[in-house]
A and B are shown apart, each in its own frame.
Chain A
Amino acid sequence: MSAAVPPVDVPTRPGGAPRITLIDAASAGLLLRQHFSSGDPGPVIASLAHVPELVGPTLPFLGAVLGPSWIPAREKEIVILRTSAVMGCRYCTEAHSVVALDSGLNVREVRALRGELPVGDVFTAEEERALVAWCDAVAQGAEADIRQARQVLDVDDARLVELTLLVATTVMLNRYATALALPTSLDVRERLLREDL
């Protein structure tokens, strides 16, 4: 069975002011100072810092799931960026467009994952199209789509577990970043402009 990726409705959400105050170095609680010692830690940490005890357990979890692992970075960024685009998360889509470029994806691939080009036209490798279909199915959550996507995703159980947790964790972050309207950092915006993204 081949991995045809049907078009999905990739929603776009407007930017805007964050719905919370982002904690800065002067306001960071005593347990969090290390995260602010090298400058702006980014809006995820700056928002979590409102509840200091959440930072300690959350960051290692996110690092383990989203960070470097035995799954190649390119593969992980396909998952994160595609999931974020399908979920309509402006913050994560913009941030991970840059990370994806830095992980070896080209601009056309990034555009395809963002829903701006047909995935089938840009991704020639069968396994990558199957991976995109898996992201779409898991993110949208319909059992029939998940069953169909699993049939064409040729990976063992260990890989399936990690890729699926990656989709699920990305969905969690998508909801978080969208609900709080986390702002895209200036350096990401500048890079996206330079890349015409």
Chain B
Amino acid sequence: MTALAQALAKGSLGNRLWLYSNYHCNLTCTYCLTESGPLVSRRELDPDTMVDLAHEARALGFTQLGITGGEPFLIPHMPELLLELSRVLPVLVLTNGTLFRRALLDRMAPLADADVTLQISLDHPDPVANDVMRGPQNFRKVVDAVPALLRHGIGVRIATTVEDPDADDLARLCALHRNLGITDDDHIVRPILRRGRARTGDMGVVARYLDLPPELTVTADGAFWSPFGPTVTGGVLDTDLLLTRTVRPLQRPVQAMLTVLGARPEGADSTLNIR
């Protein structure tokens, strides 16, 4: 058994390979780790490269893919790319859920039969409080998109990112997501991480690399320890969680990851529930 296979089997390395499809976004969320927005550098991963990486990941023993950004659905052919990726490995896509108008929903239809799940951000049960963090009309667009996607047969999870969780707000949010058709198992709650725009805005919890579950993450800038690694602060890429600039063959960053994992103290598991 290879060192990678052992790490994946033990769970000391996450079995999902994350790909940052792009860094630009139609939103400018106040706590965004990557300082994404409409005008930032796109830093896109080439779709062919993403497919090649998916094949490499499967050959190495990874069992899932994660796609994040930026907003992945700003990439013109994202539904078709997701279909192709899902033929290699099951795919989880992180999206703000605001772009699913009729035309895009129609193009999403073939994904009903594919192993693709969308994770949509929704932070607060009150539209105003939610939209202060995420942008105008975000709440309405999300609560419209979730049932529409479910009607198209596409799997949806809800991710809630909060600074100070309030029990009452959380209860109302859970009632809302259940009403939208999302079960409790498909709702995750996580803290704001003090990186990127959250750091500039004096929000969130500080996380060392030991606090972040190791999940190999590939971007146009290189390979990182975790999907929370390739953040941007003050317009500059954070490199503290950078593993390698070289991402292909995927074995190169995998080897770097295993080297770091080998130096990780025993029992250094995540404590912040960051996922």
Contacts and interface: CB of A to CB of B under 8 A. Distances in A.
Interface of A: 21, 23, 26-31, 49-53
Contacts, number: 41
Contact of A30 (B236, B238, B242, B246): B242
Contact of B256 (A23, A31, A50): A31
Contacts of A23: 239
Contacts of B245: 50-53
A27 B209 CA distance: 12
A31 B259 contact: yes
B contact face: mostly helix, strand, loop, or mixed: mixed
Nearest to A51: B245
* 5 pairs of A and B residues whose beta carbons are closest in the complex: A29-B242, A53-B244, A30-B260, A51-B245, A27-B239
5 contacts: A29-B243, A31-B243, A52-B242, A52-B244, A53-B246
B178 interface: no
Interface string B229-260: 00000001011111111100000100010011
Nearest to A53: B244
Q: In the complex, which of the residues A26, A27, A30 has the most CB atoms of chain B within 10 Å of its own CB atom?
A: A30
Nearest to A31: B256
B246 A29 contact: no
Given A23-B239, A53-B252, A53-B256, A30 B244 contact: no
A28 B252 contact: no
A130 to B, nearest CB: 43
Given A51-B245, A52-B243, A27 B238 contact: yes
A28 B256 contact: no
Contact of B209 (A26, A30, A53): A30
Given A30-B240, A31-B243, A31-B244, 9 more contacts: A23-B239, A26-B240, A27-B239, A29-B240, A30-B242, A31-B259, A49-B239, A52-B244, A52-B245
Contacts of B242: 29-30, 52
Nearest to B253: A53
A51 B252 CA distance: 13
Nearest to A28: B240
A79 to B, nearest CB: 32
Nearest to A25: B240
B260 A31 contact: yes
B225 interface: yes
Contact of B241 (A30, A49, A53): A30
Contacts of B246: 53
Given A30-B209, A30-B225, A52 B256 contact: yes
Contacts of A27: 238-240
A50 B239 contact: yes
Nearest to B257: A30
